Structure 1
Amino acid sequence: MSLNRIFFWLTLIGAPISLVGGFLHWPEIPMFIIYCVTIIGLASFMGRATESLAIVAGSSIGGLLNATFGNAVELIISFFALKEGLIGVVTASITGSIIGNLLLVGGLSIFVGGMRFKRQAFNVHNARLSAGILIFSIIVSFAFPAVFATQMDRFDIKILSTVIAIIMILIYLFSLFFRLVTHRGVYLEPGDEQTDHHDEQPEWGVGRSIVILGITTVVVAIISEHLVGAISTVAESFGWTELFIGIIIVAIVGNAAEHASAIVMAYKNRMDVTVEIAIGSTLQIAMFVAPILVLVSWGLHVFMPLVFPVTELVAMVLAVLLTISITSDGDTNWFEGAMLLAAYVIMGFGFFLL
């Protein structure tokens, strides 16, 4: 059974149950599981619709579409969590998405691909460019406000967070313009895949893609509201903290479709695609989703400052440094994947016990 068919059945079965169960207030623990599974299936449809639109619209607009909709699930879930005042869950889900993309997805992809191929190469220039942006987005933009937060009052933190959020969004848009317009194909090496896909046919037409994207976005929004509402009950029942749920559960659910695609690409030895999914999605979270949530929170009853707890900040910085050290040479093997996975397990276990 193909991956798309699995996601199709998850959606077909889970969506009606989620909508009816949420409306009738069925028991929250089993419904929480169904919500998670259904969102995973819906996320795959959103990804396929966005990819079809990107092929039709071209690479430049496609990059912007992927930036907007690639992490729509995380954005929607985080919005409803913010609306409920669960800032800890939001920051934890952002942290979980970042370390999950870099360590879990990157590590598992490299490990799976490395078990089939002794050495897997990818474009080292793109990897180094991504490394620089990662350092900027995590170490500079996230660490800086955390250091100064202890010496500022609440209003100053709001202003600093807002300014940084705007700058991060601009730099992310500039990075898309750099990659897809001004320096498109400049750093291709012999044997690299071409960035143009004029012969590639979209899976769905423009009209169908827009309809599917609209429907799935609405359904994800409805289910996400129920999912967020069940977090407290699930946390109390299993003895989990909201921090652990945000970092592990919510983060994995929001990125599951992309995770599966990255692993499949690594198994097919298309490591440039895998690296782009793992690192590119991380950059979207850090430089697009998180800043958007900061700006949106101005209109809610609770403001989300761009200040992360020390434990989450350290986890993100270590994940970035470890990923950069492994990908900076332009090739990987299964042992490097195992190290990334080990780091994720250690961090996950630590957050579980915290």
Structure 2
Amino acid sequence: MNRLFFLMVLVGVPISVAGSLLNWSQILMFIIYCVTIIALSAFMGRATESLAIHAGPRIGGLLNATFGNAVELIISIFALKAGMLGVVLASLTGSIIGNLLLVAGLSFLVGGIRFKRPEFNVYDARHNSGLLIFSVVVAFIFPEVFSIQLSERETLTLSIWIAIIMIVLYIAALIFKLVTHRGVYQHRSDKAAHDEEAEWSKLKAILVLFAATLAVAYVSERLVSTFETVGHTFGWTELFIGVIIVAIVGNAAEHASAVIMAFKNKMNVAVEIAIGSSIQVAMFVAPVLVLISLLFSKPMPLIFTLPELVAMVLSVILTIAVSIDGETNWFEGLTMLAAYLIMGVGFYFL
């Protein structure tokens, strides 16, 4: 299987470059781009697994989420430059609900089928629950409610202050988990992989992860250019493309890595990738995009639409209800996937 993915990358990346330069069929290139991203995601998954063995599940999962979100950050910056604020906010929404319901749901489903009751660090689950409530319920809903009585300029100023506070708190959360309280809240599942031997050295894993991320960033950017044609061909709206398609493609690497980790009963890494990535999007990527948007002609306030807010809040509530006990099963994973499908259908008809 690894050889197959290597061949897919070896063929897919050059074809992606050639096809974009020679203006091949947009539908054909859409398929090629998606297949290439999936193959690259496999390498990111292997690199993440090696890093998780070398440095622990938290750092391994954090690195994977960071490199994966870097792709979405790059795509969103290009969209901001083009003035597509709605698409950027929709893709942020899709990334959060996609990681919480689709990625975590698939991980719980796959891990639960193979291992019945996969366990993960309950202390991390509780910590993540608080950050999810803060970032989505407090920091996202607050500016939406207050914007009703504020001017456009005041709303943007409020968004900037909230963005700065969220970035500072996210950095503090990393210091808490990785420095001041590293190893304080251990769980027996944290010790499961200590005797494993990593496939790659730490340096090689980081280099592979970095190179694969660059390749995914390029292919993802080209993929975005095909969405208008694909959406027109299949009848997809701009909101549906932003919330569902862009989010899934932009986070393909994380999706694959989390499911692979769950399949190998490394649920701590899977949870750190899925839920940790959502927290990173909400508390770091979204605020950074608000600040970067100030450099362009159309600044982006942190104001989501009502359907987007409802979808994110419900995703957070369901995720907390399922993960707060530090264990899961295939049925809980299926429930999360069902919720994601319901939301996907809803956004399709909006």
TM-score above 0.5:
yes
1:211-256 deviation line (CA, Å, top 9, x unaligned): 6566545544443433232222222221101111122112111222
Among 181, 200, 209, the alignment partner of 1:203 is 200
CA distance in structure 2 between the aligned counterparts of 1:306 and 1:39, rounded to whole angstroms: 29
Which whole-Å CA distance do the structure 1 matches of 2:123 and 2:321 have between them?
Answer: 14
Q: Of residues 265, 268, 271 in structure 1, which corresponds to 2:267?
A: 271
Contact preservation (8 Å) 1:64, 1:176: no
Query: Secondary structure of 2:189's match?
Result: coil
Tell me whether 1:235 sits opposite 2:231 in the alignment. yes
1:143 to 129, 135, 141: 141
Percent identical: 62
Q: Unmatched 5+ residue regions in structure 1?
A: none
Paired residue type of 1:318: L
**Structure 2 unpaired stretches of 5+:** none
Whole-angstrom distance in 2 between the partners of 1:198 and 1:157: 53
2:311 maps to 315
TM-score (norm 2): 0.89
2-structure distance, mates of 1:341, 1:13: 32
User: Counterpart amino acid of 2:221?
Assistant: E
Question: Is 2:114 the counterpart of 1:116?
Answer: yes
Code of the residue aligned with 2:139 in structure 1: it is: S
Q: CA deviation at 1:36?
A: 2.8
Alignment of structure 1 residues 177-256 onto 2, 5 Å: 177-189=175-187, 191-194=188-191, 203-204=200-201, 206=203, 212=208, 215-256=211-252
Q: Which residue does the alignment assign to 1:31?
A: 29
Task: Give yes or no for contact 2:262–2:270 (8 Å, CA) kept in 1.
Answer: yes
Q: CA RMSD in A?
A: 2.8
Instruction: Report the TM-score when normalising by structure 1.
Output: 0.88
Aligned residue for 2:39? 41
Query: How far is the alpha carbon of 1:176 from its aligned partner?
Result: 0.8
Partner of 1:337: 333
In 2, the alpha carbon distance for the partners of 1:179 and 1:254 equals: 26
Q: Which one-letter code corresponds to 2:183 in the other structure?
A: G
Q: 2:91 is matched by which residue type in structure 1?
A: S
Partner deviation per Cα, 1:19-78 (whole Å, 9 max, x = no partner)? 111112222222122223323434554566677778888999878755642411111121
Residues 62 and 257 of structure 1: CA distance in aligned 2, closer, same or farther (over 3 Å): closer
Aligned length: 350
Residue by residue, what CA displacement relative to the aligned partner does 1:134-156 show, whole Å, maximum 9, x if unpaired? 10111111111111222222221
1:257 to 253, 259, 262: 253
Aligned to 1:102: 100
Q: Which residue among 259, 271, 276 is the counterpart of 1:280?
A: 276
Higher mean displacement: 101-110 or 219-228: 219-228
| Range moving further from structure 2, 268-277 or 52-61 | 52-61
**AA paired with 1:317?**
V
Contact 1:95 1:316 in 2 (8 A): yes
